[in-house]
């Protein structure tokens, strides 16, 4: 007898008219060294890789940017506006990122609070409208509030990115209902961004039916980032497949798995 | 008359040759024009135009690139 692994039929993961093979997107920040980063990204299987826009260090011109360690032909670089606290700043960073010449996609962050790094949803909407009008494909980092997500979709976002929990917290998916509701109500892709800490978080997140996950610290701050990247790749695939498979209903009483008939007297 | 002018590059004052172009500024900083994006007084200057824009005293120039981020 031969066994074959059946592949589950899935829809392509498409954002802004571009299809990607991996539903896992990863960041490039906070790795202990560039070699570990490159190997972790490789192990994650991610195609979309985020980067930030910052000043060149003029006193250490030998230090190359992140592109020196990442093949820009192999990965789809998604620039972010991390660190921006106003719509105006975020738009400025987005324009600079686009000028770097890779693509018109931008991961839009407008932060509203320094301690929690929670988004300023009003600033997010203002910046989204400006950037969409300029031809950007906006992927907006937001909270798990449905109404904000709907407004962002209306404003023309290519994808909406609700958080699992605060950036860098590793607290996992705090509001599965909120994320699931956003996914159910939006037409554009929903990619959970931030807060995933370990593989079970990623799996649980994908089981909500979202289109993908973006993570950074979960890999960079793991004791072994390369091994964690591999685990995350498997978890995202497992969670996606489980979602497509359709889980059994939960019930509050036990149901025997073995027949009740044929028991001995 | 002094043949150097003061400009701000990435927030720091620097003396550059009067009449220098943005491309010459990058060269003086040993920066590859293909590896940075130049913002001159809040306006992005595209690579082909770098040799055509000259700096003036008090100009604010930002030189940015991609770094690791999430």
- How is A143-195 classified by DSSP, letter by letter? -S-HHHHHHHHHTT-SEEEE-SSSTT-----S-HHHHHHHHHH-SS-BEEES-
- How many folded domains does chain B comprise? 1
Nearest to A227 by CA among A198, A203, A247, A255: A198
- Residue B10 within any structural domain of the chain: yes
- Residue B38 within any structural domain of the chain: yes
The alpha-carbon gap from B32 to the nearest alpha carbon of chain A, in Å, equals 10
The alpha-carbon gap from B37 to the nearest alpha carbon of chain A, in Å, equals 6
Report the pLDDT value the prediction gives residue A147, as an integer from 0 to 100: 98
Q: Tell me the ipTM for this assembly.
A: 0.93
Residue with tokens 């972790």: A40
Report the pLDDT value the prediction gives residue B41, as an integer from 0 to 100: 97
Confidence grade of residue B1 (pLDDT, cut at 50, 70, 90): low
pLDDT < 70 stretches in chain A: 1-7, 60-64, 101
- Write the CB contacts of A100 (distance below 8 Å, at least 6 apart in sequence): A53, A79, B37, B65, B66
- Write the CB contacts of A262 (distance below 8 Å, at least 6 apart in sequence): none
Residue with tokens 């892709």: A189
Q: What is the mean pLDDT of chain B?
A: 93
- Residue B69 within any structural domain of the chain: no
Report the pLDDT value the prediction gives residue A4, as an integer from 0 to 100: 61
The alpha-carbon gap from A230 to the nearest alpha carbon of chain B, in Å, equals 18
Whether B69 and A31 lie within 8 Å, measured CB to CB: no
Structure token pair of residue A72:
């820009």
| Residues from chain B contacting residue A31 (CB–CB below 8 Å) | 68
- Residue B70 within any structural domain of the chain: no
**End-to-end Cα separation, chain B, in angstroms:** 49
Which structural domain range is residue A232 located in? 21-54+64-245
| Residues from chain A contacting residue B8 (CB–CB below 8 Å) | none
Angle between helices A87-99 and A121-133 (to 10 degrees): 40
- Please check whether residue B63 is in contact with residue A48, taking contact to mean a CB–CB distance below 8 angstroms: no
Whether B68 and A56 lie within 8 Å, measured CB to CB: no
pLDDT tens across A237-264, in order? 999 999 999 999 999 999 999 999 999 9
Nearest to A207 by CA among A174, A226, A231, A235: A235
- How many folded domains does chain A comprise? 1
Whether A65 and B44 lie within 8 Å, measured CB to CB: no
Report the pLDDT value the prediction gives residue A84, as an integer from 0 to 100: 97
pLDDT tens across A108-150, in order? 999 999 999 999 999 999 999 999 999 999 999 999 999 999 9
Q: Is A107 a catalytic residue?
A: yes
Report the pLDDT value the prediction gives residue A66, as an integer from 0 to 100: 81
pTM of the model as a whole:
0.91
- Residue A250 within any structural domain of the chain: no
CATH number at residue A30: 3.20.20.70
CATH number at residue B59: 3.10.20.30
Percent pLDDT > 90 in chain B is 89
- Residue B26 within any structural domain of the chain: yes
Whether A64 and B36 lie within 8 Å, measured CB to CB: no
């Amino acid at each position: 007898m031969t066994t074959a692994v059946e592949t589950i039929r899935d829809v392509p993961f498409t954002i802004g008219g571009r299809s990607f093979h991996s539903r896992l997107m990863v960041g490039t920040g906070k790795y202990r060294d560039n070699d570990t980063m490159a190997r972790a990204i490789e192990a994650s299987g991610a195609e979309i890789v985020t980067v930030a826009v910052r000043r060149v260090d003029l006193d250490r011109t030998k230090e190359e940017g992140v592109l020196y360690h990442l093949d820009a032909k192999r990965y789809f670089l998604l620039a972010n506006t991390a660190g921006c606290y106003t719509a105006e700043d975020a738009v400025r960073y987005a324009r600079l990122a686009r000028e770097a010449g890779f693509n018109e996609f931008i991961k839009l962050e407008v932060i509203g609070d320094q301690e929690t790094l929670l988004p300023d949803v009003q600033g997010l909407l203002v910046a989204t409208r400006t950037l969409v009008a300029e031809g950007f494909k906006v992927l907006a980092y937001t909270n798990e509030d449905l109404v904000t997500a709907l407004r962002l979709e209306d404003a023309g976002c290519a994808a909406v990115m609700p958080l699992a929990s605060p950036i860098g917290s590793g607290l996992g998916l705090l509001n599965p209902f909120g994320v699931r509701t956003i996914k159910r109500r939006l037409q554009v892709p929903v990619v959970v961004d931030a807060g995933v800490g370990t593989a079970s978080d990623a799996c649980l997140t994908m089981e909500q039916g979202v289109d993908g996950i973006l993570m950074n610290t979960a890999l960079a701050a793991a004791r072994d980032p390369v091994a964690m990247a591999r685990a995350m790749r498997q978890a995202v695939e497992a969670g996606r497949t489980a979602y497509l498979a359709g889980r059994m209903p939960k019930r509050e009483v036990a149901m025997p798995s073995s027949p009740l008939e044929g028991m001995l007297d | 008359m002094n043949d150097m002018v003061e400009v701000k590059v990435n927030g720091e004052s620097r003396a550059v040759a009067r009449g220098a172009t943005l491309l010459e500024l990058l060269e003086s900083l040993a920066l590859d024009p293909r590896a940075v994006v130049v913002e001159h007084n809040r306006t992005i200057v595209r690579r082909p135009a770098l040799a055509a824009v000259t700096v003036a005293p008090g100009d604010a120039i930002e030189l940015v690139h991609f770094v690791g981020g999430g």
